[in-house]
Amino acid sequence: MNIDQQVELLMQGTEYGDETMQAAMEKELRQRLITSEKIGKPLRVYCGYDPTSTDLHLGHTISMRKMRQFQDLGHEVTFLIGSYTALVGDPSDKNKARPILTEEKILANSETYAEQAFRVLDEEKTIVRYNGEWLSKLTLVDLIRLGQNFTIQQFLARENFAKRMESGTPIYLHETFYPLMQGYDAVAMETDVQIGGTDQLFNIMMGGRKLQEAMGQKPLVGVICGILPGTDGVQRMSKSTGNIVPINTGAEDMYGKLMSIPDSAMDAYFRLVTRFSPAEIDTLLRELAEGSKHPRDVKMLLAREIVSIFYGEESAQPAEDAFIALFQKKAIPDDMPEYELQKGQSILDVLRESGLVSSNSDAYRMAKQNAVRLDGERLHDVRIEFPNPGVLQVGKRKFVRVK
């Protein structure tokens, strides 16, 4: 790729909320790429992940896909596990303080992170580091000196903090430490490019760039990725809303969940999750808009591509075949009743309230007979919380689309 093509690829799917900022970052990225090529020195690129849970979903992989693009272009990529920032908890996009995790819980969660990330990243070319390596060595005096580069007004101007101030929701002092700590990550690694979602805009632009400049380093380029909508196509993908596509799921399950997304979300999924070039995506979406390609066929291409990334082409085709057998050969009807899932409902609640079963004992009996399925997957324990939207089936003839 020439420099123009590289910039187009690396800026694909980015969002800054400000055209001037986006143009500035694109210009700086272009210059860094030109310099890197001229002197033969790869850019140092990183993204950090706080191990606040054990499992990652497709939304987490957006930044990983961006890192893989940098890897494929020959740059040095660091997968940073936030072993110390997770102790504080990122307040970005939160309307209340995060619960404080123990070091033991963080280490247990982090064991699965790199393994899952290597489904996207090239394991042989990826550097894995923990930010406790340098943050644990900071003294109180060091923290005070870092804090001298920021004002309270800058923190209170953040949208989520401003809303909490207005509503009277507490903002704890330790929450203001997070951007300082994340900014110091960039300083410690002498970062050229930091990748993150739009919820990390403040931490990257006001944290890393400002601290690097204050400490005599060249400010990093922030590559801010868009947020992936969940399977509902509206809300951001989040475990709390149940609209996720987990990474540690089966190929068939992943394929089925991707086929359930609305047509309107395909643009975002193509640009944020797949390996297609910007030109290829533009062509596909133009053909879709013109009617020369059927939305179902384009969505199947999307699902096959994403499943191939995480499970390999050898698993993607059988997953597609299973979907076709289940849905397109009328094993499941096109039209069915819909049920609006409420937060905290169990599978039992949905079965009973949607009318798929007549009683709790009926639900237990059907589950014991392996007759309760969600998107074709058997549900054995109906007492647990309903896992995600999809087609809920009891027996051969009863169906409800859970939204």
Whether the per-residue pLDDT at 325 is higher than 90: the answer is: no
* Alpha-carbon gap, residue 361 to 349, rounded angstroms: 12
Q: What fold characterizes domain 333-403?
A: 3.10.290
Q: Which amino acid is at 368?
A: K
**By mean pLDDT, which of 98-107, 176-185, 186-195, 359-368 is the weakest?**
98-107
For the domain bounded by 240-331, which CATH number is listed? 1.10.240.10
Query: For residues 45 and 198, what is the distance between their CA atoms, to the nearest angstrom?
Result: 17
Residues 6+ apart with CB under 8 A from 13: 62, 66, 225, 226, 268, 271, 272
283-300 b/e (C-beta count within 10 Å ≥ 16 → b)? ebbeebeeeebeeeebbb
pLDDT surpasses 80 at 281? yes
State yes or no: pLDDT of 93 exceeds 70: no
pLDDT digit string, tens, across residues 359-390: 898 899 888 888 898 877 788 899 999 988 88
**Between 155 and 128, the higher pLDDT residue:** 128
DSSP string, 15-62: --S-HHHHHHHHHHHHHHHHHHHHHT---EEEEEE--SSS--BGGGHH
Only one residue has tokens 């533009």, namely: 282
| 388: Cβ contacts below 8 Å, ≥ 6 apart | 231, 242, 243, 244, 257, 374
pLDDT higher than 50, residue 97: no
pLDDT tens per residue across span 326-356: 765 556 666 788 899 988 899 999 999 999 9
Question: Average pLDDT in the 96-118 region?
Answer: 70
Q: Is the pLDDT of residue 215 over 50?
A: yes
Most trustworthy range by pLDDT among 32-46, 103-117, 145-159 = 32-46
Top-confidence residue, 258 or 115? 258
pLDDT digits (tens, 9 = 90+) for 193-208: 999 988 888 888 877 8
Tokens 């290597």 correspond to 118
Q: Tell me, what amino acid is at 382?
A: V
Task: Give one DSSP letter per residue of 138-199, joined into a string.
Answer: --HHHHHHHHTT--HHHHHTSHHHHHHHHHT----GGGGHHHHHHHHHHHHTT-SEEEEEGG
Please, are residues 350 and 394 in contact by the beta-carbon 8 Å criterion? no
Give the span between the Cα atoms of 62 and 223, in whole angstroms.
12
| CATH number for the domain running over 3-225 | 3.40.50.620
pLDDT at residue 172 tops 70: yes
- The answer to whether residue 140 scores a pLDDT higher than 80 is yes
Q: Please report the pLDDT score of residue 294 as a whole number.
A: 86
Per-residue pLDDT of 12-41, as tens digits, reads 889 888 899 999 999 999 999 999 999 999
pLDDT for the residue numbered 190: 95
pLDDT of amino acid 349: 93
The domains of the chain are located at: 3-225, 240-331, 333-403
pLDDT at 61: 87
Residue 311: exposed, middle, or buried by beta-carbon count in 10 A (0-12, 13-18, 19+)? buried
Average pLDDT, the chain: 85
Give mean pLDDT, residues 57-82. Answer: 92
240 vs 167: which has the higher pLDDT? 167
Among candidate residues 12, 111, 18, the one with its CA nearest the CA of residue 65: 12
DSSP one-letter code for 98: P
Supply the pLDDT for residue 96.
44
| pLDDT for the residue 90 | 53
User: What's the whole-number mean pLDDT along residues 72-83?
Assistant: 92
pLDDT of residue 330: 53
Minimum mean pLDDT range among 126-135, 153-162, 212-221, 262-271? 153-162
Identity (one letter) of the amino acid at 387? P
3-state SS assignment for residue 291: coil
pLDDT at 34: 96
Share of the chain above pLDDT 70, in %: 93
Summarised one tens digit per residue, pLDDT across range 43-69 is 999 999 887 766 778 888 889 989 999
pTM attached to this predicted model = 0.70
